Structure 1
Amino acid sequence: MSAAHEYEVDEGYDWPRPPVGGWTADDLDQLPNLPPHTELIDGSLVLVSPQTEFHMRTLRLLENSLLEQVPDEFDVFREFTVKLDKRNRPEPDVLVVRAGADLGPKRTRLHPDDVILAVEIVSEDSEERDRKVKPRKYADAGIVHYWRVEENDGLPVAYVYELDPATSSYVPTGIFHNRLTVGEPFPTTIDLTAINRRR
């Protein structure tokens, strides 16, 4: 199956060709006909594979759970890009942001200073990015909290990290099976076994 068919564009579609040096974060808003949830990593476009049921259910569980528990000074976004620097604009699956970060209804990106927590749900095609590339970039940008969520026997397992300001890198603060309970960035408890329950 061709990429054009996969992304529902004509076979004759002229895929964007990167300029010398790669795309910039600002280019992402100007490129026509990009598939939904296209990210920019190191100046290259990253097209997202079709979403699995595990990914969709985990995303819904995390978003709803965080929305129920988030204090008024924060808000929860899903699948929204963050301009980390000139050549990096990833799209975390779930974000906790400062409530005052809202710059208007037409904005298409957050600044890393707005982001308190970035959450990535690992897919088969994103393992390397979610385990190594994105955490390094989020830490370099000063995002204090990072959660990586992976599937194990059909259930989510949450790997929780916090930024060490002395090294500007993440340190693990816990691995959570069945129940995620943390005190930062705000007290949160999530029943990870509830992935298949309807809300």
Structure 2
Amino acid sequence: MTAEPLPESPLPEPERPAAPRWPVPPPGGFTVDHLFSLPDLPPHTELIDGSLVFVSPQRDFHALTVYLLESGLRRMVPEGLKVKREMTVVINPKNGPEPDLSVVRSEAVTSRRQTRYDAKDVVLAVEVVSPDSEARDRDAKPRKYATAGIPHFWRVEMVGEEDRPVVYVYELDPATKCYVITGVYHDRLKVTVPFDIDIDLTEIDRL
């Protein structure tokens, strides 16, 4: 007499990772208060027109260019101004973009725990264009910076066979609240406003 084989126990199914729970926008959209109070938002989340914008992984070009410009600005910034990297600029209750770099008035810096600056305290906003943020960096964000009265704006693009940065420099026309381009800089960024700045853009090859 032979024993019947025992039925095989089913293998347990692997546990599926829990799906991320994205915050549900309230009626009328998110506000700046939500941006700074919602738990577990990804780093560098921005608020544009009441919507949360999550930042995608950046290319090496973006990191190197931000570092190059930040280092140059810090070497030359005069007393009374400070250079800040990836800090939220509050434009109004529905808009809190995060420039890659900004130059702010020193009196606006009140604490090392600070998480934001008001647009009225920003002298220069800099955006390094990424593939996932082209429309925002080229259109939406500069329009908002101009409307908020930020006097200077730089847009930085990767161009050419060597993938070097080109800096498009804009100044605010206070009558129209629109930016006017004042120069395009390929190998060397040399301007006198908002202060004397001279940065060798080809230095990116050595970083």
- Provide TM-score, normalisation by structure 1: 0.93
**Residue number among 88, 91, 99 corresponding to 2:98 in the alignment:** 91
Structure 1 unaligned blocks of 5 or more? 1-9
**Residue number among 168, 172, 179 corresponding to 1:163 in the alignment:** 172
Q: Report if the CA contact (8 A) 1:57-1:196 is conserved.
A: no
Name the SS for the 1:50 alignment partner.
coil
Residue 142 (structure 1) aligned with residue 149 (structure 2): yes
C-alpha distance in 1, partners of 2:44/2:192?
Answer: 30
How far residue 112 of structure 1 moved from its aligned partner, in angstroms, is 0.7
Residue 14 (structure 1) aligned with residue 21 (structure 2): yes
How far residue 105 of structure 1 moved from its aligned partner, in angstroms, is 2.4
Name the SS for the 1:40 alignment partner.
strand
The structure with more radius of gyration:
2
Provide, for residues 24-56 of structure 1, a one-character-per-residue CA deviation record: whole Å limited to 9, x for no partner. Answer: 011111111111100000000000010110000
Residue 188 (structure 1) aligned with residue 197 (structure 2): yes
Structure 2 unaligned blocks of 5 or more? 1-16
- Provide TM-score, normalisation by structure 2: 0.89
CA RMSD of aligned residues (A): 0.9
AA in 2 matched with 1:190: I
C-alpha distance in 2, partners of 1:103/1:192?
Answer: 32
How far residue 135 of structure 1 moved from its aligned partner, in angstroms, is 0.7
C-alpha distance in 2, partners of 1:196/1:61?
Answer: 10
Give the aligned partner of residue 62 of structure 2. Answer: 55
Q: Which runs of 4+ in 1 moved over 6 A?
A: none
How far residue 197 of structure 1 moved from its aligned partner, in angstroms, is 2.2
Name the SS for the 1:127 alignment partner.
helix
C-alpha distance in 2, partners of 1:186/1:11?
Answer: 50
